[in-house]
A and B are shown apart, each in its own frame.
Chain A
Amino acid sequence: QKEVEQNSGPLSVPEGAIASLNCTYSDRGSQSFFWYRQYSGKSPELIMFIYSNGDKEDGRFTAQLNKASQYVSLLIRDSQPSDSATYLCAVDPLEAGNNRKLIWGLGTSLAVNP
């Protein structure tokens, strides 16, 4: 069974620090990786996606992918209280038949303390 695992947290960091969120996946053939942020009572919103090994930066966010280790992470620099949310990792295994069906982790709860 294909799985995506995340530490449920809560991960607590002080304002201005770097928050590091981690995700591992079981399907070695997975192609695309997504990080979504979900505020309490709201729907997930896309933060970043990555599909090549290495780092991808967008503002204060950096996604890191290591396919050999089946590991993807999200770094948030200069963390702000408004970053406090649940961060969901989603993996697209690109199963045969062109049927995109993301596999989701349970999410990591992040709390940024002022």
Chain B
Amino acid sequence: GAGVSQSPRYKVAKRGQDVALRCDPISGHVSLFWYQQALGQGPEFLTYFQNEAQLDKSGLPSDRFFAERPEGSVSTLKIQRTQQEDSAVYLCASSSRGYNSPLHFGNGTRLTVT
């Protein structure tokens, strides 16, 4: 079946603009994660959903970051009043409920704030 789909693939925003990043997980996957990856770094956890419930948002760097998954499928990561330090690749991953279920990543959205 289809993998994790993210859109847009690239986003350029002027500082202060709001952006919305979309993630469409693998059908039936219960868990959904958002990560931020800077160049040369490993992914940094942002937030985690189990179905529609946001169980952990401890990685969101500020209150400008907001994520939702209202129907337990598609998720949106919103960044308000973007800053240059928000420039990174934003990765979405999903997994099934199983104990050792691995993460399946989307292709990411590369956000550049100018």
Contacts and interface: CB of A to CB of B under 8 A. Distances in A.
Interface of A: 32, 34, 42-46, 49, 51, 88, 90, 92, 97, 99-102, 104-107
Contacts of A107: 41-42
Top 10 nearest A-B pairs (CB, nearest first) are: A104-B42, A43-B105, A46-B102, A106-B42, A32-B100, A43-B108, A44-B105, A99-B56, A43-B107, A104-B43
A42 B107 contact: yes
Nearest to A106: B42
Contact of A88 (B42, B45, B48, B107): B42
Given A99-B48, A99-B55, A99-B56, A45 B42 contact: no
Q: Which of A45, A100, A104, A105 has the most CB of B within 10 A?
A: A100
Contacts of A43: 91, 105-108
